[in-house]
């Protein structure tokens, strides 16, 4: 788990919060989406730090703050602000002049909430999985930290996925959720597939993870997924055939991720994935879902006709735009929840 060591209520991973709190947040997201909630963030500031690119995450948080009367600031270290040093105990006599410790402290004084996106870095998965920068911000920033995607979790995507599952699948408990690896020209982080699997587990679904040999998810993350599934009455299976996973599925969630044993070695990782281009979601795969009517999910951006065919994205199965929209509503609910937990919070007003 990625729980902060501080006493403030950071949002680093969905599983850090009790189930009833997540249920309350999702109920609030539904009310937000229905137009029942306005205001609640007047005078509040969200500072977002992006070390990696973003379209949905950045714009949905900016829009969410605007819609509720707040302000969002975006910082891209190295583009208009100093790049961060992250190593602890380092002698900073090189080209980096700002340590993340001071950056986190300063932003915590300027903003009510601080959000961070930092993909995995380092030469080994053992190093990268520690999410060092996220932990620095959690430890040294006075304001609540929101994880906008780290090496191991994308909790805001998970919230949007949960909202989408509630909307699109009647009584999701016991229904089949196929999380399948998809080919991609480069290794991608595991944060989204792990978070998607946790969403399915939280819903008590029959989770089937399909991946080629060598592409297992982090063992500790798999333990977390299995424990949550057991708690919520669901199941988890891992298979090595895409067709086996999607057969009879109610949900097909496609996502590529890298081979962790080859983390930091792009050449060997690329050689492992090179012959796997047939791991792609096709019309035939979606026709094999339950009644041929399963829904297709993907966090976006998606490489058309590489990860998934046009016929799927443009067909009746695709819910990816609804899924992306729900990022906005779930995050609005998250911001309102964080504001209510933070001293000086304003009361949320309703139209009723």
The predicted-structure confidence for 196-238, as pLDDT tens digits, reads as follows: 999 999 999 999 999 999 999 999 999 999 999 999 999 999 9
pLDDT of residue 345: 43
* Residue appearing with tokens 């065919």: 309
Burial 263-300 (b: 16+ CB within 10 A, else e): bbeeeebeebbeebeebbbbeebbebbeeeebbbbbbe
User: In the 8-state DSSP scheme, what is residue 276?
Assistant: G
Percent of the chain with pLDDT over 70: 95
pLDDT digits (tens, 9 = 90+) for 11-67: 999 999 999 999 999 999 999 999 999 999 999 999 999 999 999 999 999 999 999
Instruction: Answer whether 14-153+328-350 and 157-324 agree in fold.
Output: yes
Give the closest residue to 144 by CA, choosing from 293, 284, 6, 350: 6
* pLDDT exceeds cutoff 50 at 346: no
Residue 120's pLDDT band (cuts 50, 70, 90)? very high
Q: Which CATH fold would you assign to the domain 157-324?
A: Rossmann fold (3.40.50)
What's residue 5's pLDDT? 46
Q: Residue 7: pLDDT band by 50, 70, 90 thresholds?
A: low
CATH number of 14-153+328-350: 3.40.50.1370
Parse the chain into domains and list their residue ranges: 14-153+328-350, 157-324
148-173 mean pLDDT: 97
49 neighbors 117 (Cβ within 8 angstroms): yes
State pLDDT tens for residues 267-319: 999 999 999 999 999 999 999 999 999 999 999 999 999 999 999 999 999 99
| pLDDT grade for 344, boundaries at 50, 70 and 90 | low
Kindly indicate the confidence band of residue 351, based on its pLDDT and cuts at 50, 70 and 90: low
Provide the pLDDT for residue 334. Answer: 98
Answer whether 0.85 is exceeded by the pTM. Answer: yes
3-state helix, strand, coil in the chain (%, to 5): 40, 15, 40
Instruction: Indicate whether 1 pLDDT > 50.
Output: no
What are the tokens at 1?
């788990």
Chain position carrying tokens 């891992």? 238
Give the three-class secondary structure for 218: coil
73 bridge partner residues = 47
């Amino acid at each position: 788990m990625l729980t902060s060591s501080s006493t403030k209520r950071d949002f680093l991973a969905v599983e850090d919060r009790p189930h009833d709190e997540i249920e309350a947040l999702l109920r609030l997201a539904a009310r937000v989406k229905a137009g029942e909630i306005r205001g609640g963030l007047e005078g509040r500031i969200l500072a977002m730090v992006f070390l990696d690119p973003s379209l949905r995450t950045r714009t949905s948080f900016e829009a969410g703050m605007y819609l509720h009367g707040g302000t969002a600031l975006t910082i891209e270290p190295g583009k208009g602000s100093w790049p961060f040093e992250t190593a602890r105990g380092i002698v900073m006599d090189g080209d980096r002049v700002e340590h993340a410790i001071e950056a986190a402290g300063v932003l915590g004084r300027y903003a009510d909430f601080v959000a961070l996106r930092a993909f995995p870095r380092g030469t080994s998965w053992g190093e990268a999985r520690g999410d060092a920068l996220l932990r620095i911000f959690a430890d040294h920033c006075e304001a609540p930290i929101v994880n906008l995607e780290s090496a191991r979790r994308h909790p805001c995507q998970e919230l949007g996925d949960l909202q989408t599952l509630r909307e699109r699948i009647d009584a999701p408990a016991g229904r089949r959720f196929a999380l399948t690896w998809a080919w991609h020209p480069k290794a991608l982080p595991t944060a989204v597939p792990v978070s998607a699997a946790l969403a399915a587990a939280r819903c008590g679904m029959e989770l089937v993870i399909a991946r080629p040999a060598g592409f297992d998810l982090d063992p500790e993350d798999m333990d977390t997924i299995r424990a949550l599934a057991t708690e919520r009455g669901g199941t988890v299976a891992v298979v090595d055939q895409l067709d086996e996973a999607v057969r009879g599925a109610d949900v097909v969630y496609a996502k590529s991720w890298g081979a962790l044993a080859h983390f930091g070695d792009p050449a060997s990782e690329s050689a492992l994935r090179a012959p796997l281009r047939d791991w792609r979601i096709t019309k035939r795969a979606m026709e094999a879902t339950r009644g041929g009517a399963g829904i297709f999910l993907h966090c976006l951006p998606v490489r058309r006709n590489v990860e998934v065919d046009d016929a799927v994205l443009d067909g009746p199965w695709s819910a990816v735009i609804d899924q992306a929209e729900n990022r906005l509503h779930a995050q609005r609910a998250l911001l309102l929840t964080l504001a209510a937990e933070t001293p000086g919070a304003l009361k949320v007003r309703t139209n009723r």
